[in-house]
Structure 1
Amino acid sequence: MNARIAEPPIGGTIDHILSVLPSLIPSAQRVARICAERPEQVVEMSGADLAAAADTSPPTVTRTCQALGFQGFQHLRMLLVRDLGAAARATRSSEAGTAGWLQGIADGAGEILRTSLASVDAAAFDAAAGAIVAAPRVLLAGTGASGPAAQSIALKLTMNGRPCEAPVDGVSQQLTARVLRPGDVCIVVSSSGANAVTLAAAAAAREAGATVIGVTSFSRSALADYTDILLVAGARFQSWDQGAVGAGLVQYLLLSVLQLAVADRMDGDDAERARWAIRDELGAIVAEPEDSGDTVDAGSARGAS
């Protein structure tokens, strides 16, 4: 049984289950998946009922609940009852066609974001923010669908006066990670925690002695083996038809909150001067041309956009 008892916040029980599920043995995965996908039925079940539904034994149900971090089945059942009772019973639009489809996607994304950060460990989050603030050098590593979130947070950190590097391709990320030093930070973003290209960058950063911060959806993924600090969020999108949308939104949300925490901790005259210098430069980049006879052809403007 885990020493630390899981107590997810209201609405976060299913996210917690899904974050641990991939690390379980097959029989335990069947139990956990039923709890995550059919909570309304599970709250009406006994341990023996759940065992029968998962084609396993009652002791396996108990061990599964404990492997998930709960005291036992009744503890898990109580949390599911709590979450179901607190859930908003919004009526989904029955409108057919594009409008209904768009609303369904928006509703699904909103539900994902509402509880997506429930599995983030507060102490780990604080440690991550502190490490980024203190690091001489910060590297962002993320490829595939996780790449855009990594690139976005890199830009925001730079705008806050916290310079960082974010090579786009995996080879550059790995090579850069190899030349990091102790005290530097490598933020590795991988929703699955199993992307081989991203894992190579994480391994290189760890071998170099840098602090590795992992951002993923699963607490016991391969990425966890290479990280000093692990931030877990957003496993629920894995059971949603529009998983790619959910994954990107959750990563962007968590990294944006981390960026705000870093900005809040950066103080002193040097940091403030750096922020204002970057803002002035950004203003110059996006400023419209002076009225000095310079004109921009409409076709050129469309091409540039």
Structure 2
Amino acid sequence: MERTSPDAPNAPAAAGVLERIRHGASELSEAMSKVADQVLADPEAAARATIMDLAELSGTSPGTITRFCRHLGYDGYAALRVAIATETGRASARRETGWDVNIGQEIAPSDPLDRVLKQLITIDAAMLRDTVDTLDLGAVERVAARVCDARRVDVYGVGTSATVARELQMGFYRTGVAAWVWTEVHDALASAALLGKGDVAFAVSLSGSTAEVIEMLSEADSRGALTVALTGDGDSALAEIADICLTSATTRTGHRADLLASRHSALLVADLVHIAVAQQRFPAALEALESRARAVVGHRPSRQRNGAS
């Protein structure tokens, strides 16, 4: 999704992203001009590059790339890269149809499944790399430390983000953390109202603009809990509420393939958080895992009980 930036180049509304970069080149800082020159010199390479790759190619930094994207009115590098790929023909030039909107321009109804699989992997891999390149690991460690000390942990998410919320809560639960997941606004608000200082509230929203999730986290914040946002938009309303924001790469095209990849990026962050918690409370986490295993051993097939894989 594009959003209006006060500094965005004043190119004609119908202009493509490359024309807008050319049109506004004179308004860019020296560092962002290097990024623009690199993109214009080889748009197809820019469409394939990760944020770290483009920073290296242009002799700049990931922070400069992010500022460049926002200058153009994009939420982040993943969104800009999709726009460049579409314009250069890497994405299909087909007329936009209901299929294009819901599945994606990169995948055609007649494509064989091996090509579909490769396209999905390409989209997933690009977003996962962007997440790895931009995720604040220090913030992950701080969140993990607070979760380890928390009396209880609430995790909120609705719609597509509910899948990520459930996985995060289950990761905590498996390692002995008192964690609950809430995907319905009334139940979530009632639980948030019972939180207090020392508790932790996670809100998962890929867009960062889901009203229900924002309301849930706001309630937890008003009760004194540490609030954490897991979102694809570090400048969103949800991120502004949170004490700590963990960002995963996402695009705003609305295509199903991109939405799936965005969810996978968020799941990567969720997995990292719960593993960081398990590391920091290793003895207790190990005991919880072993206790769970012993409790259900009688319901496993005999081959598994005997250690067979």
Please, what TM-score do these two structures have when normalized by structure 1? 0.67
- 1:150 aligned residue: 165
**Mapping of residues 14-93 of structure 1, within 5 Å:** 22=3, 25=5, 28=8, 49-51=22-24, 58-59=26-27, 62=28, 72-74=31-33, 76-77=35-36, 83-84=53-54
Amino acid at match of 1:148: T
- Contact 2:127-2:262 at 8 Å conserved across structures: no
Amino acid at match of 2:204: V
**Mapping of residues 83-232 of structure 1, within 5 Å:** 83-84=53-54, 96-232=111-247
CA separation of 1:204 and 1:75: change in aligned 2, threshold 3 A: farther
Q: Distance in 1 between matches of 2:139 and 2:253?
A: 23
- SS of residue matched to 2:182: coil
Amino acid at match of 2:202: I
The match for 2:288 among 264, 274, 285 is 274
- Contact 1:138-1:187 at 8 Å conserved across structures: yes
The CA deviation string for residues 175-234 of structure 1, in whole angstroms up to 9 with x for no partner, is 111110101000110011110010110000000000001000111100022100001111
Kindly state the Cα deviation for residue 27 of structure 1 after the two structures are TM-superposed: 5.4
- SS of residue matched to 1:162: coil
- Contact 1:141-1:166 at 8 Å conserved across structures: yes
Amino acid at match of 1:207: S
User: When the two structures are aligned, how many residues end up with a matched partner?
Assistant: 242
Kindly state the Cα deviation for residue 105 of structure 1 after the two structures are TM-superposed: 1.9
- 1:9 aligned residue: none
The CA deviation string for residues 30-59 of structure 1, in whole angstroms up to 9 with x for no partner, is 89xxxxx96xx58xx9x7x2417xxxxx43
- SS of residue matched to 2:163: helix
Kindly state the Cα deviation for residue 243 of structure 1 after the two structures are TM-superposed: 2.1
- SS of residue matched to 1:166: strand
Structure 2 unaligned spans of 5+: 40-45, 47-51, 58-105, 304-309
**Aligned residues: CA RMSD:** 3.6
The CA deviation string for residues 100-153 of structure 1, in whole angstroms up to 9 with x for no partner, is 223222222222222223222222222111111111111110111100111012
Q: Distance in 2 between matches of 1:29 and 1:132?
A: 44
Q: Distance in 2 between matches of 1:184 and 1:278?
A: 24
CA separation of 1:237 and 1:257: change in aligned 2, threshold 3 A: farther
Q: Distance in 1 between matches of 2:10 and 2:178?
A: 45
The match for 2:272 among 243, 257, 281 is 257
Q: Distance in 2 between matches of 1:219 and 1:276?
A: 37
- SS of residue matched to 1:116: helix
- Contact 2:169-2:180 at 8 Å conserved across structures: yes
Structure with greater contact order relative to length (CA < 8 Å, sep ≥ 6): 1
Please, what TM-score do these two structures have when normalized by structure 2? 0.66
CA separation of 1:168 and 1:96: change in aligned 2, threshold 3 A: closer
- 2:65 aligned residue: none
- 1:283 aligned residue: 297
- Contact 1:159-1:279 at 8 Å conserved across structures: no
The CA deviation string for residues 241-277 of structure 1, in whole angstroms up to 9 with x for no partner, is 6222112111111100111111111134x44433321
- SS of residue matched to 2:8: helix
